[in-house]
């Protein structure tokens, strides 16, 4: 029991730490690629605009990937399997959709 609790706490700490590290590192990378400090005038404004375009995708991107894996993939796989036989090996086409 204690080993399971320790394992769960470890996974939570590593998961939260990984998320924090990802967002901190991604923000630092955006700041390095599009610096707004030490750049004059129009270039700084352009870099701030580019940062504003890229930064939201740093947060939305991982969520979209996870949603794709856990929501869309099962639908596509179920549709694909519906065209196979009971064992999931031989293609039977629309035979599974015939009225019994």
d(CA 28, CA 45): 18
Instruction: Confirm whether 49 is domain-assigned.
Output: yes
- Band of residue 100 on the pLDDT scale cut at 50, 70, 90: low
Q: How does pLDDT run across 41-65, given as a tens digit for each residue?
A: 888 899 999 999 999 998 899 999 9
Count of domains observed in the chain? 1
Q: Is 87 inside a domain boundary?
A: no
User: Does a structural domain hold residue 76?
Assistant: no
> Is 2 part of any domain?
yes
Q: Is residue 88 a part of any domain in this protein? A: no
Whole domain around residue 4: which residue ranges? Answer: 1-61
Any domain includes 89: no
Q: At what angle do helices 2-33 and 41-67 cross, to 10 degrees?
A: 150
Task: Assign 69 a pLDDT band (cuts: 50, 70, 90).
Answer: very high
pTM, two decimal places: 0.64
What sign results for the dihedral spanned by CA atoms 28, 33, 34, 37?
positive
First-residue to last-residue Cα distance in the chain:
51
Residue 3 lies in a domain: yes
Task: Specify if 74 maps to a domain.
Answer: no
């Amino acid at each position: 029991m204690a080993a399971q609790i320790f394992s769960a706490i470890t996974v939570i700490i590593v998961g939260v730490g990984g998320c924090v590290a990802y967002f901190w590192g991604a923000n630092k990378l955006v700041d390095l690629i599009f610096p707004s400090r030490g750049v004059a005038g129009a270039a700084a404004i352009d870099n701030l605009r580019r940062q504003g375009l890229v930064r939201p995708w740093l947060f939305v991107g991982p969520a979209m990937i996870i949603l794709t894996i856990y929501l869309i993939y099962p639908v596509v796989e179920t549709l694909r399997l519906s065209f196979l036989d009971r064992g999931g090996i031989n293609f039977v086409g629309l035979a599974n959709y015939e009225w019994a």
